[in-house]
């Protein structure tokens, strides 16, 4: 019986060994499946993140291209405004130059053409509306030409509008008494 008991022990050992191997193999398969599932889920997460990043990248590229277009439009508008501003500056400079030339021309004209005639240069009739100059009689308006290029109809209105005090008032009264008039004569030259 020894042999049969040994055979039964051996067969038990073989079956036990087979069971242990099956369990180990099943464990390895389960571990492999677990790793595979984890790898698949990681791969899916990576794919999801990649697709999400690609979408964000597309959006950023689109917004960047829109910003570039907007920037180009703004630069073009700035260039247009700069040209307009430069044109306005040039026009302003020209207008200032023309204004200065016109002021100089007017002041020269007033200096060249204005004569102050006292009472004794009037003709013999003592008519304040005419003056004799080189045997030519021409009408004179009772106006004063001021440096500010404004005309005053009579010396009296000038004195009334200024309202001087003290010594200035006395000197203006002397001017009023001497009956000074101003004449604008066009130069024949």
Q: Which helix (H) or strand (E) holds 182?
A: strand 181-184
| Among 158, 130, 132, CA closest to 144 | 158
**At CA 71, angle to CA 67 and CA 78, rounded to 5?**
160
pLDDT digits (tens), the chain, 189 positions: 466 677 778 888 888 888 999 999 999 999 999 999 999 999 999 999 999 999 999 999 999 999 999 999 999 999 999 999 999 999 999 999 999 988 888 777 666 555 544 444 444 444 444 444 444 444 444 455 555 545 545 555 545 555 555 555 555 555 555 444 443 444 433
| Among 165, 186, 55, CA closest to 114 | 186
Please state the domain extents for the chain.
1-112, 118-184
CA distance 30 to 181: 126
Separate counts of helices (H) and strands (E) for the chain? 3, 6
CA distance 188 to 113: 10
The pLDDT, as a whole number, for residue 17 is 87
């Amino acid at each position: 019986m020894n042999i049969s008991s040994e055979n039964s022990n051996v067969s038990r050992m073989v079956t036990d060994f087979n069971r242990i191997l099956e369990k180990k193999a099943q464990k390895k398969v389960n571990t492999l499946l677990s790793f595979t599932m984890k790898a698949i889920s990681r791969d899916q997460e990576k794919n999801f993140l990649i697709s999400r990043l690609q979408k964000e990248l597309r959006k950023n590229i689109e917004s960047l291209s829109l910003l570039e277009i907007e920037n180009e439009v703004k630069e073009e508008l700035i260039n247009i405004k700069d040209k307009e501003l430069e044109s306005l500056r040039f026009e302003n400079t020209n207008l200032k130059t023309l204004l200065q030339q016109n002021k100089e021309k007017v002041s020269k004209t007033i200096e060249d053409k204005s004569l102050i005639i006292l009472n004794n240069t009037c003709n013999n009739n003592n008519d304040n509306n005419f003056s004799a100059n080189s045997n030519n009689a021409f009408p004179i308006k009772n106006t004063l030409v001021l440096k500010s290029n404004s005309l005053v109809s009579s010396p009296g209105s000038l004195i009334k509008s200024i309202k001087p005090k003290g010594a200035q008032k006395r000197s203006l009264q002397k001017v009023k008494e001497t009956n000074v008039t101003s004449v604008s004569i066009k130069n024949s030259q």
